Structure 1
Amino acid sequence: MSRQQRAGSSTRPDKDEVAARADDLALDGVRALMGGSVWALDDAVVDLVTLAHATGGRAVVEQTLTTRLRLALDERWRTGWQPMDLHHLVGRSARHVRAEPETVTRVVELLGDVMAADLAAYPRARVEQRWHDQLELAEASVWWSTTDSCLTARVGQWGSEAIGYEVALRLEHVLRSLPAMQQLGARPGEATSRSASTPVDVDDKVLARVRQLLAKAESTPYEAEAETFTAGAQALMARHSIDHAVLAASAPVGGDERPDGRRLWMETPYVREKVMLLGAVADANRSRSVWAKEDGYVTLLGFPHDLDAVETLYTSLLVQATRAMHAEGKRLDWRGGSRTRSFRQSFLAAFGARIGERLAEVTAAETAQAAEEMSAAGGRELVPVLQERTEAVESYVEELFPRVRHVSMSLGRDREGWDRGRRAADQASLQWGRAVGS
């Protein structure tokens, strides 16, 4: 090898040097975002692009940025975050750094890629099914060739290294700025065969029937008919929950269920009223709800099958309530000004309050009938079984939220809205108990 060749080869940095330089520049970019300096961010992006082209190390630069994102994501997993939590909040947080809408969309897309790549690195049995379900809901998957990084694939799709590198830095900034949350379930890689599997089940045809009833409730234009279908669905879910509780209680030692938790992100407007409705549905299904007001989400706590019932019924009721509310049209005050917002707040609050009463009646009736049937059959007493599960849920709430506060919530000030809301929830001549589910 000639002297010139040796000298030329020594001037090109090796992969480790390129990676180290890319890491330093990425850190500069993230710090620029933390300090609110768009100019410093632009400088970091330009330097990264220059480094990628000048050294022929584009793949190294992009792998370095991807690795930083994976490390930031792992920090979030360890502080309680799950895929749908990040999917919901990252878009909101990205807006706080004043990104253009198109950039916000790209940040969310890259987040999905990083999450999909991270979960794919674990054995399937070591990740709870809920994580994969949430990835599917976020429409995230490994769609690129595994010989490249997800960032390299996105750069090719977006047609610009500068765009891709800026998006990566913005995403890392958002991930590193998120606070800790309560840990719900096992983290990726830590699931056991028990936690990754589905608990002992009752006939899935029950839940299929529930979904059919709720679909009918959402599609009918008649409020009375919608309420009848909803009550029927609740009666079926109440019986399903009772049957499952008895089955779980009779399972062998070590096979018993434990309370779990899920987070639901609340969308504006009328968040307070939606939280009230969710709380009413949770109470009727032997679950609890904790509202993180400043962060915009509710944590549901209960046994898995009860949480299924809460999520399903709450969604259906919210659709029905919203449809009935909009059917009322707008409202004006005596001066001709709009009072539509106050009317709708009171409408939804009243709807939720009355629905809570009705769901409680359905659950109480179904529980009483089930207890009578079990007693007549000489089986285990139902009340102690349900009481044990209630106590387990309450203990779980205290474990996760030792400083939770119970606060009173306004039920609205618009008298007409209140009356109309209760009427929307109270029009039907509902059938209670087993007859509804027949």
Structure 2
Amino acid sequence: MSTSSTVDRAFGAALYATTDDALDTGASLLASDPAADAELAGRGEEFVATAWRRGWQPADLVRIVRRELDDVHVRLVAVLIHAQAPHDRPRGPRWHAQLGDLGGLGGLGERTDRFSHATAVLELYRLLLRLPALEPLDEPDGDTGSSGRERNPESRTLGRIRALLAKAEATGFPEEAEALTAKAQELMARHSVDEALLAVRAPSATAPGACRIGVEPPYEQTKAVLLDAIATANHCRAVWNEALGFSTVVGFASDLEAVELLHTSLLVQAGTAMAKAEAAQRAGGRKRTKTFRQSFLAAYVHRVGARLAAAAEGQVTDDLLPVLASRDVAVTERLDRLFPETTTTRLRGVSDAAGWEEGARAADDAQVEARGRLSGRRP
């Protein structure tokens, strides 16, 4: 029996059925024929390539596998992505950054018997086979970003910002966290001003880009609203895909970077503040529930969103208004092409007054200013 025949029979038994018996039959066929391993891996690379053609990217694939399956499947898909990469077409810098972020996900993990391994492979392939098509976010090959310079996904400035925010999020001392965050915001504002000035002096034909940011449970609706507020304040637009657990953010390269950094930092700040608020409530003899946490985060997002909107107003001098207006139009046009139909939603489950009050108080303490005043003149 040829290896292709073994794989075809296993796929016929397992991939197009959903029962455990069918899965066991397919896994038994593969486990009994070690010569079929290379063919099985090659078919997996084809599934990955098909996912790319359907609009998925490496980070998306890892996220959906982690969401739907287990760690062993995450390792398997990481191996397939790395194996397929040399045969792929040229990609932009965000794609390559995602490949780099896979890091050690493709490690061996625990050794398993052939039947267990084959079962995990078939479970993964079942998922890959059923992936829906996504909106294509392809970057032009060798994308240079909005400034016309070679875009480095981890420039020296962004590396310093990430390091400062990581220290701010890790420290247990509020004063130190505030000082570190303020320094990160100063660097981010300087980076943003540089990009805006370059757009004024040497406008490029680069179109807005887009990225997908995971919106993970619990309280994913509230987290999606937070991301939308951050995106809007930073000249971007966000659309949430609830079923697949991510938001697509559309904007120019430097603005997308600001959104990603600020979103991550504010999520950490919100989580830390909520844990402290819960501890204080428990110390006072009051039991805290899911409704408290939901209300806390809803208030936090509402207040932070208002602060972001207020900070965005009046931040731009008159000499930069035309270029920013044209960039906003370009972002909206790209969004409308990607998502011709969208709907709005309202937050649910906000019913705990104490949670709302604590969340609003934490939002007032949060560091939200991701940008300095944009001006055509440097101080």
**TM-score of the aligned structures, taking structure 1 as reference length:** 0.74
Distance 1:387-1:338 versus aligned 2 partners, 3 A rule = same
Instruction: After superposition, give the CA deviation of every residue in 1:87-144 in whole Å (9 maximum; x if it has no partner).
Output: 11113333xxxxxxxxx33222111111001012247xx122322322232225888x
| Residue 85 of structure 1, CA deviation | 0.9
Q: Does 2:20 align with 1:38?
A: yes
Distance 1:228-1:193 versus aligned 2 partners, 3 A rule = closer
Structure 2 match to 1:382: 320
Q: Does 2:109 align with 1:109?
A: no
SS of residue paired to 2:131: coil
- Could you tell me whether the CA contact under 8 Å between 2:208 and 2:253 is conserved in 1? yes
Match of 2:95 among 116, 131, 145: 131
Structure 1 match to 2:376: none
- Could you tell me whether the CA contact under 8 Å between 1:258 and 1:303 is conserved in 2? yes
Higher gyration radius (CA)? 1
| Residue 388 of structure 1, CA deviation | 0.6
Report the Cα distance in structure 2 between the residues aligned to 1:399 and 1:214, rounded to whole angstroms: 34
Q: How does 1:313-392 map to 2 (within 5 A)?
A: 313-329=262-278, 338-368=287-317, 371=318, 381-392=319-330
Distance 1:44-1:412 versus aligned 2 partners, 3 A rule = closer
- Could you tell me whether the CA contact under 8 Å between 1:289 and 1:300 is conserved in 2? yes
- Could you tell me whether the CA contact under 8 Å between 1:343 and 1:414 is conserved in 2? yes
Instruction: After superposition, give the CA deviation of every residue in 1:296-319 in whole Å (9 maximum; x if it has no partner).
Output: 211111111111111111111111
- Could you tell me whether the CA contact under 8 Å between 1:287 and 1:306 is conserved in 2? yes
Q: How does 1:166-185 map to 2 (within 5 A)?
A: 166-185=119-138
Amino acid at match of 2:43: R
Instruction: After superposition, give the CA deviation of every residue in 1:400-436 in whole Å (9 maximum; x if it has no partner).
Output: 11111133334822222222212122248999956xx
Report the Cα distance in structure 2 between the residues aligned to 1:173 and 1:312, rounded to whole angstroms: 34
Distance 1:391-1:430 versus aligned 2 partners, 3 A rule = closer
| Residue 47 of structure 1, CA deviation | 2.8
SS of residue paired to 2:345: coil
| Residue 324 of structure 1, CA deviation | 0.9
Structure 2 match to 1:81: 56
Structure 1: stretches of 5+ with no match in the other structure = 1-12, 53-57, 95-103, 144-153, 372-380
Structure 2: stretches of 5+ with no match in the other structure = 374-378
Identity of aligned residues (%): 37
Amino acid at match of 2:240: W
- Could you tell me whether the CA contact under 8 Å between 1:275 and 1:298 is conserved in 2? yes
Distance 1:251-1:258 versus aligned 2 partners, 3 A rule = same
Amino acid at match of 1:93: E
Distance 1:281-1:419 versus aligned 2 partners, 3 A rule = same
Q: Mean Cα displacement is larger for which, 194-203 or 67-76? A: 194-203
Amino acid at match of 2:291: S
Distance 1:301-1:44 versus aligned 2 partners, 3 A rule = same
Structure 1 match to 2:165: 214
Report the Cα distance in structure 2 between the residues aligned to 1:429 and 1:40, rounded to whole angstroms: 53
Q: Does 2:214 align with 1:265?
A: yes
Report the Cα distance in structure 1 between the residues aligned to 2:18 and 2:63, rounded to whole angstroms: 23
Report the Cα distance in structure 1 between the residues aligned to 2:73 and 2:170, rounded to whole angstroms: 36
Distance 1:358-1:390 versus aligned 2 partners, 3 A rule = same
Report the Cα distance in structure 2 between the residues aligned to 1:420 and 1:309, rounded to whole angstroms: 27
| Residue 184 of structure 1, CA deviation | 0.9
**TM-score of the aligned structures, taking structure 2 as reference length:** 0.84
Distance 1:314-1:306 versus aligned 2 partners, 3 A rule = same
- Could you tell me whether the CA contact under 8 Å between 2:238 and 2:248 is conserved in 1? yes
Amino acid at match of 1:183: P
Distance 1:387-1:345 versus aligned 2 partners, 3 A rule = same
Match of 2:194 among 243, 256, 260: 243
Structure 1 match to 2:84: 118
| Residue 243 of structure 1, CA deviation | 3.0
Amino acid at match of 1:46: S
Q: Mean Cα displacement is larger for which, 318-327 or 134-143? A: 134-143
Q: How does 1:51-90 map to 2 (within 5 A)?
A: 52=33, 58-59=34-35, 61-90=36-65
Distance 1:394-1:268 versus aligned 2 partners, 3 A rule = same
Distance 1:90-1:196 versus aligned 2 partners, 3 A rule = farther
SS of residue paired to 1:328: helix
Match of 2:332 among 390, 394, 419: 394
Tell me how many residue pairs correspond in the alignment.
370
| Residue 258 of structure 1, CA deviation | 1.6
SS of residue paired to 1:183: coil
Match of 2:9 among 4, 21, 25: 25
- Could you tell me whether the CA contact under 8 Å between 2:164 and 2:183 is conserved in 1? yes
